[in-house]
Structure 1
Amino acid sequence: MNAPASLPNTSAFEMDRAHVLHPWANFGPFEKAGSLVIARGQGAKLWDEQGREYFDAVGGMWCTNIGLGRREMADAIAEQAERLAFANHFVDMTNDPAARLAAKLAELAPGDLNRVHFTTGGSTAVDTAVRVVSYYHHARGNPDKTDIVARENSYHGSTYLTQSVGKRNGDRIEEFRYKTEGIHHLSCPNPYRRPDHMTEAQFCDDLIAEFEALIAKVGADRIGGFIAEPIQASGGIIVPPQGYLRRMWEVCQRHDILFIADEVVTAFGRIGHWFASEDAFGVQPDMITCAKGLTSGYLPLGALILSDRIWDAMASGGHRWFTTGLTYSGHPVSCACALKNIEILDREGLLANAARVGAYFNTRLQTLADLPLVGNVRGQGLMLCVENVANKATKELLPDEVNESKRISDVCESLGLLVRPIGHLNVMSPPLIITEAEVDFVVDTLETAIRRVSDDLVREGHRLG
């Protein structure tokens, strides 16, 4: 065991490479190149250990909505930590910040979503939501109505259960095992990848018919819940066809299937609303999962918001126990952080800024659509991406080993911009404080990077266009 005294003489880069197993670690490249060590953040900007500055167009991990380095956030966290750093939240104990945050979320959430279960993040919120499906239907006398329906290329978290429910390209690896019984996946509602002979409206009809066919095959007496991100985030910024989510919700209503809106990314202003389900897509979900923008990344926190109807069914008779939860559920410091974050989002009009600047961002980003490597530019609010293709007419992708999106992000990084490579995409989800001038910098820098990588690919013998 190394003596602690030796640590100050070792760089964070070296310690990280020697000791840390990162989420989604790619072992070969990591062991060779190590990690980018971030030392400081202010607003939408980051600085690494060498003092190099970057504009963070990724927004941390879809989460730094109000921007970094805010003194009033630090003060709120410190004050609560001094007053009450921790309190048991199990069974019949609570604390003031948790109670006030639950009331605030009930106020902001649509319809009768008035009950809140706090978790540590998005994965644990979704994990709980899926389990509530079984609990709710069992309490109503339907113990076999437990199956869950999700979509291809969806992402709902990284616990064993939530990664089984999600099915994003690249997440399923042979070294892990996944739950398959009782989980069904429908087609991804990606208009860009719809069959060539279909209009978008016909594609939507086909998706709804697919859901109805699955219910007929499996049985409405077995399917208990449907889970959907309003916009599939890590799955590729998939904005569904017009009317799709509303019609899927109507199918759920007809068959007594709970509709879970996974708003871990879309909530708290990402596309201009506190919650996107009703305001953007006309859906009144039975449950909403949220995290990320709930605290703008200042502290870990997630929440499952559920309807009075679900609570009433689970609580009927007064004899049942809800046997799930986490040590840090309702953590007072995290809840105080979330309350201050919501106050800032509201006071500074950041939801409206996300909608306004997001529209400008989308318009500017569309100027890249004519580049030979760019197949599609899509998104809504401050969730946007560029999809790279080898052939614009056929939408054929480059071989995975070409890794063009990572190469583009590497060039961007060298120019002071962070964008996120996911498969053949370059994804952006900047803080909601972003300005139009900063959008111009992002788009201009991304264009430079795409052009440079395109030129390199042509020199390597790849045909583009």
Structure 2
Amino acid sequence: MTLDLPKTTDDILTEDVHLVQSFADLNALKQDGARTAIVGAEGTMVTDSEGNELIDGIGGLWCVNVGHKRREIIEAINQQLETLDFYSTFYSFTHPTAAALAAKLAELAPGSLNKVHFGNSGSVANDSAVRILHHYYKRLGQPQKRKVLSRHGAYHGSTHLAIAMTTPEYSDGWHKAEGIVHHLRKPHYWREGDGMTEAEFTDALLDDMKSEIESLGAENIACFIGEPIMGAGGVIVPPEGYHARVADLCRDYEIKVISDEVVTAFGRLGHFFASKDVFGFQPDIITTAKGLTSGYQPLSATILSDEIHEVISGPGAMFLHGMTYSGHPAASAAGLANIALMERDQIPQTARTTGKLFETTLKGLGDLDIVGEVRGSHFMIGIEFVKDKVSKEIFDPSLNIGLKVAQKCQEKGLIARPLGHILILSPTLILSPEQIATIGAILRESITEVMAEL
């Protein structure tokens, strides 16, 4: 059966008015309908409905790590659907594909993170982590340990609890789970350092955290959740040694550490998981999604330590949590094929070299007058635009400076993600050196043109 889909740009955008798009100005879309219809993709490129080929500079949305249209993953999904299209992992039921993927993730994850609960999004993975820890502490006779420490600048998802763990700017005008989450200082040295050395700033961050713990009472705090590198909060890399010190402080106060690797896992920073290999700390839980299947199927994982699992699986424990599609056969098949492809082609190892080239190329844009900071690591980069480099004053938000640059980029063949006065690049991990040079040239030309117009 062939699906009857709209084909022309006009037809697509006419039907698209029925779609409520995510993280969009819905009123603006209603007024001018400025949308891009993507109709095809292969490798590092996507094609829009006008036939323009564009470099996918955002990897779908942080996620198409191995590139588009990889036959290995497509065929694995098709083969799985021919064998077992769907059965849940509820109650006492399981199936081979979810079991095999859980075993593979346990092999790849650091330390004793050997137990895997599947969901279908990063938001669900993070919600699951906190809900499981609430259950864990209740089983230990400490039901009051419910509070969560997060950070300003964080992004942990869009469900009711996940958005509460996200930086408050993303929940402005919306309700969220009140009273559970407390936000610590943003670990952004360039913006928040206030004349301190980086070491002094790190000390200040830890002092702030310790003060918050003692104010709330460690006996009331379940966990700290943090991204190794903040993604949608502006691609913020904490100071060197920060994560290890945070983990040590949490351990001193008997607070669990959740590492949100929804973005940083599966090769984006050159390793399958970045917590221990890149940042030198061992979390109690890792959450992941996006690159787990390279976006070919919706799937997330909440990976638990043996110690946590031992408590929640003890006598008299009912695990009253899960989703219909947890461990979906086709999604699990996509995850297994994606990981196998990454291992075969050594994509994480290659990304250690090409990702550094990408990082160096984009950091070279720092000589432009409106580029205040280029930050991030490997294939995860943010460019912050400023009106004045010395004062770090940003442009009037009404100028939509990031959007202006993104529009110029798209005209020249590159998709980049605007975020206010910041531009984010999170491409596929299979870019060639030549493509990296092209991206750098497009960005330089686009920023220069916007500067001239300003």
Give the TM-score normalised by structure 1: 0.95
Matched, 1:341 2:338: yes
Give the letter for the 2:134 counterpart. Answer: S
C-alpha distance in 1 between matches for 2:24 and 2:234: 20
Q: Post-superposition shift, 1:91?
A: 1.5
Is the 1:287–1:304 contact (alpha carbons within 8 Å) kept by the matching residues of 2? yes
C-alpha distance in 1 between matches for 2:94 and 2:356: 41
Q: How does 1:2-401 map to 2 (within 5 A)?
A: 11-16=11-16, 18-31=17-30, 32-167=32-167, 169=169, 171-174=170-173, 176-316=174-314, 318-401=315-398
Match of 1:402 among 383, 399, 403: 399
C-alpha distance in 2 between matches for 1:67 and 1:19: 29
Is the 1:355–1:382 contact (alpha carbons within 8 Å) kept by the matching residues of 2? no
Give the TM-score normalised by structure 2: 0.97
Give the letter for the 1:232 counterpart. Answer: M
Matched, 1:437 2:434: yes
C-alpha distance in 1 between matches for 2:368 and 2:6: 48
Q: Deviations over 1:79-98 (max 9, x none)?
A: 10010000121021001000
C-alpha distance in 1 between matches for 2:93 and 2:111: 27
Is the 1:152–1:188 contact (alpha carbons within 8 Å) kept by the matching residues of 2? yes
Q: Which runs of 5+ in 1 are unaligned?
A: 458-465
Q: Deviations over 1:343-388 (max 9, x none)?
A: 0011101101211111111211122111111000111121011100
**Is the partner of 2:171 in helix, strand or coil?**
coil
**Is the partner of 1:221 in helix, strand or coil?**
helix
Q: Post-superposition shift, 1:335?
A: 0.2
Give the letter for the 1:127 counterpart. Answer: D
Q: Post-superposition shift, 1:68?
A: 0.5
Q: Deviations over 1:405-448 (max 9, x none)?
A: 00000000001100111121111111111111111010110011
C-alpha distance in 2 between matches for 1:221 and 1:96: 41
Q: Post-superposition shift, 1:183?
A: 1.1
Q: Deviations over 1:255-295 (max 9, x none)?
A: 11000000000010010011000001111100000000000
Is the 1:148–1:182 contact (alpha carbons within 8 Å) kept by the matching residues of 2? yes
Give the letter for the 1:444 counterpart. Answer: A
Q: Deviations over 1:19-39 (max 9, x none)?
A: 010011202321213421111
**Is the partner of 2:278 in helix, strand or coil?**
helix
C-alpha distance in 2 between matches for 1:5 and 1:339: 31
**Is the partner of 1:115 in helix, strand or coil?**
strand
C-alpha distance in 1 between matches for 2:168 and 2:155: 6
Q: Post-superposition shift, 1:7?
A: 6.8
C-alpha distance in 1 between matches for 2:165 and 2:435: 37
Please, what is the CA RMSD of the aligned residues? Answer: 1.4
Give the letter for the 2:239 counterpart. Answer: P
C-alpha distance in 1 between matches for 2:291 and 2:193: 35
C-alpha distance in 1 between matches for 2:6 and 2:345: 42
**Is the partner of 1:103 in helix, strand or coil?**
helix
Matched length: 450
Give the letter for the 1:81 counterpart. Answer: L
C-alpha distance in 2 between matches for 1:117 and 1:163: 21
C-alpha distance in 1 between matches for 2:434 and 2:63: 21
Q: Post-superposition shift, 1:8?
A: 7.6
**Is the partner of 1:25 in helix, strand or coil?**
coil
C-alpha distance in 1 between matches for 2:433 and 2:33: 34
* Moved segments of 4+, more than 3 Å: 4-10
Q: Aligned residues: percent identity? A: 40
